[in-house]
């Protein structure tokens, strides 16, 4: 796991996000050969909830949310944080304080 924070990267254009947002995620997963697909257990809290935007990816050690703080500081409106917490379920990586920071 790299400990490097990549600060300069090109985000997907808003136009492309808009065009992609009308399609089901499964279509993109099939086209990508099932790479980069979330586990089927991960789903929206409610069926009508959908999200589309440039992915800001974060890989963390189990129970360590320091890099998530860095990602929140770098995020721009419309970015979607995609966090790999290594399937650790012993501690929450996000809580009310961090979710509030995401809304800022």
| pLDDT (tens digit per residue) in 13-35 | 999 999 999 988 888 888 888 87
What is residue 39's predicted lDDT score, i.e. its pLDDT? 77
Query: Are the C-beta atoms of residues 82 and 56 closer than 8 Å to each other?
Result: yes
Distance of CA 18 to the CA centre of its chain: 17
pTM strictly above 0.85: no
C-alpha distances out from residue 46 to 39, 43, 51, 63, 67, Å: 17, 8, 12, 26, 28
Domain ranges of the chain: 12-50, 54-104
């Amino acid at each position: 796991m790299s400990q490097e924070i990549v600060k300069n990267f090109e985000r997907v254009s808003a136009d492309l996000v808009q065009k992609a947002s009308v399609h089901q995620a499964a279509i993109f997963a099939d086209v990508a050969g099932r790479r980069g697909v979330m586990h089927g257990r991960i789903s929206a809290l409610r069926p009508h909830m959908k999200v589309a935007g440039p992915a800001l990816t974060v890989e963390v050690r189990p129970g360590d949310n320091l890099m998530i703080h860095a990602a929140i500081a770098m995020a721009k409106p419309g970015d979607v944080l995609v966090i790999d917490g290594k399937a650790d379920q012993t501690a929450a990586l996000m809580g009310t304080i961090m979710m509030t920071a995401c809304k800022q």
